[in-house]
Amino acid sequence: MTLTPDKPKAKARKLSMKERYSALTRDLDWDPSYVPADEMFPYTTFEGIKIHDWSKWEDPFRLTVDAYTKYQAEKDRRLYAVLDGFAQSQGHLSLTDASYLNAMKLFLQGVSPLEYQAHRNFAYLSRHLNGPGPRFASLCQSLDEIRHAQTEIHTLSNYNKYYSGFHSYLHMHDRVWYLSVPKSFFDDALSAGPFEFLIAIGFSFEYLLTNLLFVPFMSGASFNGDLPTMTFGFSAQSDESRHMTLGLEAIKFLLEQDPDNVPIVQHWIDKWFWRGYRVTALVAQMLDYMLPRKVMSWKEAFELYFEQQMLGGLFQDLAYYGIKPPRDVGKAIQEKEHLSHQAYWILYQFSHAAAFTTSVPSDETLDWLEEQYPDTFPTYRALWDKEKKNVANGGRHFVRGLPQLCQVCQIPMGFTEADSPFTICQRSVVFEGERYNFCSDGCQNIFEHEPVKFRQAWLPVHQIYQGNCGGADLGDVMQWYGMQPGDGGEYLGSPDHQNWLRWHAQADHSELGED
């Protein structure tokens, strides 16, 4: 420390933000010379995608590790403070109704495990993509996704202490019939190559459909007094906007690299739109039926977030690359006034085998639905009027048999023809002597592209018939699913409902007592 500083050298040009970011991220990369490149990156050729220049990847955001950890630590500090406060003050009692939590049960069982899967596979991309730019972006997303999985679990953990249906969400995700819908979706993405995963999850899930898959749960929370979930949603927002820009950059990058990539990407868009859209059936019924206080109808959400924003915006831009809107988008539009009603009707009839409860919609809800769906709901309302009579006569409707499932999306085959909304749609294909069933042309198309992949699907109903699910009768299967009494079936009179009434009655009495 005895030396004096050198005379300041000729003023060197300082780094711009972009150069600095590049120096801290992609400049860390080098071309290996002691091992062959295809051994270094073994997974990026088999899909047929051609990348000529990885350096053309435009960084979708510029966050270095120091900024990332600082920003995220601050967000988590605030989020966990809200969770702790809510738990200490018995905040769950200020929800609109205990039945609201059915939406959150579905979320924890069906969505949180997907966040975890995204975490693992973005880690795969952060190793196995050749370009250092997308590797670093994927690394950040991998971390974000374990954050989402964990903060969701921690957010909903408090409800698990007081309400049914949450307790075995992981076990159920890998076993229960309706959860096989989101699980097979993500397993499909993880078992695809890295480029397909980028389009399936990075683009399709995180950009194209995120406002239909994720946002409705968060809005539902804010409308129904669920402060923790709402806070989680807000604190995930800045992560999600990074994910959206990553997805958009990914698709542009692939399309710009080589014209031969265009048809491959187009097929993935077609496939993953339909895959994702089928998963949104669960969201559609949640929005229209499960929320005691409604946010917007499925139809409205679909028109705003998909038709206007995506078809009217995004796909206009993608047309420049020769990309067309997803193949089966017309069918999705045709059935937007039916999807939620059909999906809820299926879940209503099978909820004795589910870890959430259902009930005949209240008159208020029925009126609201009729306002939202003036053209189609009268028909569905007739169904509910009939069911109300069944209930009054002590004959609430549950289907005792097992439904046939679509080989691709795994939803029971209860959807109707898109252009003839009261005829059940059934498609089938024979492949190597075996017949496979589909709920729609969209699902059939997906199968026909990859029959060898989709014949492997773990179909819950087949598995029950094959004796792989604990036994032959419903009780055995429910036990194997990890169901506990009160998890499923009818909401009215369920343990959650009874507790809710009791807790509120106690509160009211104490209030009276004080006056």
Partner 1 sequence: MTVQFELRTQVIEPQRKTFQHLVDRYGDRPASRYEEGTIDLQATANYHFRPLWGPELDIYSPDYSLLKLADPYSYVDPRGFYYAPYVTSRADLHESFAATLGYLEKRGLFDRLPEAWRALFAEVVLPVRHYEAAAQMVSSHAARFGWGTTITQCAAYAAFDRIGNAQLLSRAGISFGGGTADSLADAKVRWLEDDALQPLRRLTEETLVERDWGLGMVRLDVTDQVLYQLLYTHLDDAAITGGAGSYSLVSQHLSGWFADQRRWFDALYKAWVADPEHGADNLATLRRTVADALAAADTALRPLAAKADELVGAGCAAALDQAVAATRTHFADLGITTEES
> Does position 200 bind Zn ion by CB under 5 A?
no
Residue 6 binds which entry of partner 1, Fe ion, Zn ion, none, CB below 5-8 Å type-dependent? partner 1
The stretch among 127-135, 178-186, 240-248, 445-453 that binds Fe ion (CB under 5 A) is: 240-248
Q: Which helix (H) or strand (E) holds 430?
A: strand 427-431
> Does position 156 bind Zn ion by CB under 5 A?
no
Nearest distance in Å: CB 455, Zn ion: 14
**Does residue 226 sit in helix, strand or coil?**
coil
Query: Can you state the angle between helices 261-285 and 180-190, rounded to 10 degrees?
Result: 160
Residue 472 binds which entry of Zn ion, Fe ion, partner 1, none, CB below 5-8 Å type-dependent? none
Torsion angles phi and psi, residue 435, rounded to 5: -95, 135
Three-class SS of 443-460:
HHHHHHHCHHHHCCCCCH
Nearest distance in Å: CB 330, partner 1: 28
Nearest Cα to Cα of residue 41 among 193, 145, 189:
193
Nearest Cα to Cα of residue 404 among 350, 473, 471:
350
User: CB-wise, 168 or 444, nearer to partner 1?
Assistant: 168
The stretch among 142-150, 285-293, 400-408, 488-496 that binds Zn ion (CB under 5 A) is: 400-408
Residue 406 binds which entry of Zn ion, Fe ion, partner 1, none, CB below 5-8 Å type-dependent? Zn ion
Nearest distance in Å: CB 188, Zn ion: 12
Between 360 and 379, how does the x/- string for binding to partner 1 read (CB under 8 A)? Answer: --------------------
Residue 305 binds which entry of Fe ion, partner 1, Zn ion, none, CB below 5-8 Å type-dependent? none
Question: Binders of Fe ion among 146-165, rule CB under 5 A?
Answer: 148
Q: What's the CA gap between 277 and 57, in Å, rounded? A: 29
Question: Binders of partner 1 among 19-78, rule CB under 8 A?
Answer: 19-20, 23-25, 27-30, 32-35, 39-40, 42-43, 46-47, 64-66, 68-70, 72-74, 76-77
The stretch among 130-138, 204-212, 354-362, 425-433 that binds partner 1 (CB under 8 A) is: 130-138
Nearest distance in Å: CB 514, partner 1: 7
> Does position 409 bind Zn ion by CB under 5 A?
yes
Nearest distance in Å: CB 215, Fe ion: 12
Distances (CA, A) of 230 to 113, 258, 301, 500: 19, 42, 18, 21
User: CB-wise, 107 or 438, nearer to Zn ion?
Assistant: 438
Distances (CA, A) of 195 to 109, 190, 281: 27, 11, 26
Token pair 């051994």 in the structure block, residue: 39
Q: What's the CA gap between 351 and 105, in Å, rounded? A: 13
Nearest distance in Å: CB 192, partner 1: 6
In this structure, what DSSP letter does residue 393 have? Answer: T
At residue 142, what is the residue type?
Answer: S
Between 304 and 343, how does the x/- string for binding to Zn ion read (CB under 5 A)? Answer: ----------------------------------------
> Does position 119 bind Fe ion by CB under 5 A?
no
Residue 13 binds which entry of Zn ion, Fe ion, partner 1, none, CB below 5-8 Å type-dependent? partner 1
Region at 275 (left for phi over 0; alpha for psi -120 to 50; beta for the rest):
alpha
Residue 243 binds which entry of Zn ion, Fe ion, partner 1, none, CB below 5-8 Å type-dependent? Fe ion
Q: Where are the alpha helices (DSSP H) in 163-286?
A: 169-173, 180-190, 194-197, 210-213, 215-223, 227-257, 261-285
Between 148 and 187, how does the x/- string for binding to partner 1 read (CB under 8 A)? Answer: -xxx-xx--x--xxxxx-xxxxxx-xxx----x--xx--x
As given in the structure block, the two tokens for residue 276 are 């994702």
Q: Kindly give the pairing relationship between strand 357-358 and strand 489-490.
A: parallel
In this structure, what DSSP letter does residue 177 have? Answer: G
Its sign, for the CA torsion 198, 199, 202, 205, is negative
Question: Binders of partner 1 among 423-462, rule CB under 8 A?
Answer: 453-454, 456-458
Beta bridge partners of 427: 438
Q: What's the CA gap between 454 and 429, in Å, rounded? A: 12
Between 126 and 145, how does the x/- string for binding to Fe ion read (CB under 5 A)? Answer: -------------------x
The stretch among 16-24, 178-186, 368-376, 407-415 that binds Zn ion (CB under 5 A) is: 407-415
Residue 381 binds which entry of Zn ion, Fe ion, partner 1, none, CB below 5-8 Å type-dependent? none
**Is residue 184 a contact partner of residue 284, using CB atoms and an 8 Å limit?**
no
> Does position 2 bind partner 1 by CB under 8 A?
yes
- Report, in this order, helix, strand and coil percent for the chain, each rounded to 5: 65, 5, 30
Residue 183 binds which entry of partner 1, Fe ion, Zn ion, none, CB below 5-8 Å type-dependent? partner 1
Q: Which of 51, 99, 106, 113 binds partner 1 (CB under 8 A)?
A: 113
**Is residue 194 a contact partner of residue 44, using CB atoms and an 8 Å limit?**
yes
Q: Which of 106, 111, 137, 143 binds partner 1 (CB under 8 A)?
A: 143
| Positions that interact with Zn ion (CB under 5 A) | 406, 408-409, 439, 443
| Positions that interact with Fe ion (CB under 5 A) | 115, 145, 148, 206, 243
